[in-house]
Amino acid sequence: MSEVAEYKTIIQIPSLAKRLNIASNLLDADPRSELLKRTLEIVLEEHGGTLSWDIRDCDGKQIPCLIGMRPGDFSQGIGLNVDGSGKVFFVYDSHGDSQGLGRQICEEISQNYNTIALRMALSEMDYQVEIEEERTGPYQKKVLLTGRI
């Protein structure tokens, strides 16, 4: 028997729920926090830019966040915060972003986070994992993971 399953996902890190503004100290004992930081670094490798702990709105006002990034092509920044259950959500000012680049970068973060989590999950299940990427547009890709015993 075979099964095909489709999932829509959210990133949820309950240990971050109590941390609303932690300046430069996101890394802690929870490996999921490190995974999140690593994901942002991977996205920044493509876009250029730096990690940050605040973003700016269209008026230049500073808005703090748990962790964020200032991509070279979206300099006002993308922030990540968590709600009371640890659900991670994105914060950015979309004013003037007619191309939808902010949304696209958020999707890239989700895709990269899920890819790393899947690779780690399959390895833990004793599968040998191969990863292939297919470019589908500027900064856009489809990722294929194959796990074999």
Partner 1 sequence: MAPSIRIIVDQRGNIIADFHGFRGEDCLSAERQLRDKLLKYGVQISERKAILKEDNESTEQRMKERRSLWRKT
Q: Which residues bind partner 1 (CB under 8 A)?
A: 1-13, 31-32, 35-36, 87-88, 107-108, 110-111, 113-118, 120-122, 124-125, 127, 136-137, 140-149
Q: State which residue, 56 or 110, has the beta carbon closest to partner 1.
A: 110
For the CB of residue 124, give the shortest distance to partner 1 in the complex, in Å.
6
Report which of 72, 65, 120 is spatially closest to residue 90, judged by C-alpha positions.
65
Q: State which residue, 16 or 91, has the beta carbon closest to partner 1.
A: 16
For the CB of residue 107, give the shortest distance to partner 1 in the complex, in Å.
5
Q: State which residue, 62 or 135, has the beta carbon closest to partner 1.
A: 135
For the CB of residue 77, give the shortest distance to partner 1 in the complex, in Å.
20
For the CB of residue 110, give the shortest distance to partner 1 in the complex, in Å.
3
Please tell me what DSSP assigns to residue 87.
Answer: B
Q: State which residue, 55 or 113, has the beta carbon closest to partner 1.
A: 113
Q: Output 70-76 pairs: Cβ under 8 A, ≥24 positions apart.
A: 71/43, 71/44, 71/47, 71/105, 72/47, 72/48, 73/47, 73/48, 73/49, 73/101, 74/47, 74/49, 74/101, 74/102, 74/105, 75/49
